[in-house]
Structure 1
Amino acid sequence: MQTTRVVVPLEEGGKDPIVTSRTNPSRALPLRLIQLFGMFLSLCIAFWFVSVYAIRHFGVQSVMTSVKSTFQPCFNQENNLDLWIKPPSNLMHTMSDNELFWRATLVPRRKKYPFRRVPKIAYMFLTKGPLPLGPIWEKFFKGHEGLFSIYMHSLPTFEPKFPPNSVFYNRQIPSQISEWGRMSMCDAEKRLLANALLDISNEWFILLSESCIPLYNFSVIYHYILKSRHSFTGAFDDPGPFGRGRYNDNMAPEVNLSQWRKGPQWFEVNRKLAVNIVEDTTYYTKFEQFCRPACYVDEHYFPTMLSIQAPHLIANRSLTWVDWSRGGAHPATFGRADITEEFFKRVYGGQQCTYNNQPSSVCFLFARKFAPSTLEPLMNLSSKVLGL
């Protein structure tokens, strides 16, 4: 180590000069590095002994397993077309209605699909809970997997107990309470449409209740609907007190009296009109504020809105048959004693309508309202009358 001798001059009258020694710091640095390296080497040796001890006592496999369980490689996250075209595997989700409606109305701008798409029909059941006529529908859907989807909107407290082999198993969507004649009923219908729109293969959307039955087999209904140029929703101008008499002047300017329409709530619409219904906020606000009992919003909202937005795309009739001949605010409900061959001859007979701008005698594909007691006679007649 090199030292430097420094001579400090004496003050006046002082003693002899003092010689001091100063150590050069550049020479002290290597010693510090050697000390740090020694400490690092000691830690490495200690870590090596601990690792050998752990492997001998716990095994290499357990150590590797613990490491793998905490490592999630980012490249395992797929980002391909399947993420967009595969329907949700679980219908239950935590989206709010606003989030759901926004997601459901994301529409591709290119008409041609870049994959093989088999059009499906979404059967949407608006129910209180159980499906007493479920066996009829099970028979209807059997053998046609891949051509339909099922969605159920029930009371939030209802816990379905369908077996795993049922077409209704795990087909319940997040639901809320809906009341007849109020906007909550239309909310439930929009909720069904929005959930069904998440499956890109659903091309048509049919609203049904737990009291509905099919009047034909699956193939007849499938081809009738998919070949139609029009969607089906009843929409007519009723000049009486239960039609125009329910109009509120506050609906203008969005809805004028001449545009006010009435119709049954049971509809069959294609994908384009389903998106129109779900995305609407303009007419929704007006109907929510100014169509309350005795204005029954589920009879006016969709018929009026679609008549204004797309009059050329709707047939102005529903495909669901009901019997109003008994009078009252609700159609007739049929019981066990009503279910005979003669009854169905009356249902099928005398039908005259327009289908794809041509006269047709097949005007209804579904019928309601059938009580739970009708299940047994319906099952007995299903092959002979319904073609199931």
Structure 2
Amino acid sequence: MFGSSELITRGAHEPRSVCIVANDWLDYRSHHKKISTPLDDTLTHAVSFFFSAFNPTSSAMDATPGDSSNLTWDNVGLGLAFILFNAIISSVLHLGVGSSLVTSALRCIVQLAIMGLVLQRVFETNNPWAVGAIAFVLNFLGTLEAVANKSKKRYHNMFPSILVSMLGSTIPVSVIGARFAMAVTPFWTPEQYIPVVGMLCGNAVSAVVVAVAYVLKEIYDNRDKVETYLAYGASRFEACSPVAREALRIALTPTISQMSVIGIISIPGMMTGAILGGSSVDQAAKLQMIIMFMISASSALAAMVATIFALSVVIDSEHRIRPDRVDVKEHAIWRGRNWVWAQIVGGVKCVAGCCWRRKEERVNGHHDGERLLG
């Protein structure tokens, strides 16, 4: 047993936390109510306030269990209402993007659902080959999206060159960043590596599309300046260096703008996910810093390699501009889709027309028979 002065001395000199000392004091006062002095009463109120404010165990015990939310497809459906609201606005204002919004939202649902199932299996197996396969698939699909869906102009052999640009930027940056900057051992740990590669691929696709689109636009539509340089004896690298610099500057502008406002105006998705997953805010902030620096490096590298490939194709080794190597038509995938759709629609119309003609023939034959009988 100990009094108030003894407790204060004990809390000051023994290597115990203040919360434990405060708890001992409250237990002591509850069992020794007969000993009461003004100093003891004052200390009791002060310690009670201090203990309730700084004891994490008591606040955790007071929390209601089961506060963490478990999202269902009903929640996803409620979230989809925001997209429907945008589609209604598009329809009212005649913006013409309502169908694109709904289609993109449905694609988002299907793609994320499939990814969730696949990644769950990969996380359970914890196999480096499976992680490598997922990383390659992400880069492959990102390249397909950049070439087939986001590029209005394409050059010869664009798909393999963009794929090399993507793989040559996202894989080295993700490996080095995960192993050394993020201190993940082994670096291919699925829960850490796959989300990082996914974010790098998404940002690299945007940078590559912007850079290549600018290069093809300048070479195909506004090639007078480049032709002037070439006519005065400049090499293709000298003639194209202004175009390449401007393409890289435009491609990296979104990443620079994002880094300049992050943490002040916006809370990025990676940091939000880490906080919702239970990580401390400090660790989530540091992780987001590393991710942003990795995104900047991979986007710059991918845009630079893609720009070099594009310029080397549209301007040949003889220092001539080759507009014939630029394709301005729809990608072959969409042309094939349109052809198949036209065949299906034509077949349906043909079948419907045949059925309608047969029905008319039967009706006309019935009327002719009635006239003959009459």
Q: Give the strand-richer structure, 1 or 2.
A: 1
Q: Structure 1 length as normaliser, TM-score?
A: 0.24
Of the two, which has the highest radius of gyration?
Answer: 1
Taking structure 2 as the reference length, the TM-score comes to: 0.25
Higher helix proportion (structure 1 or 2):
2
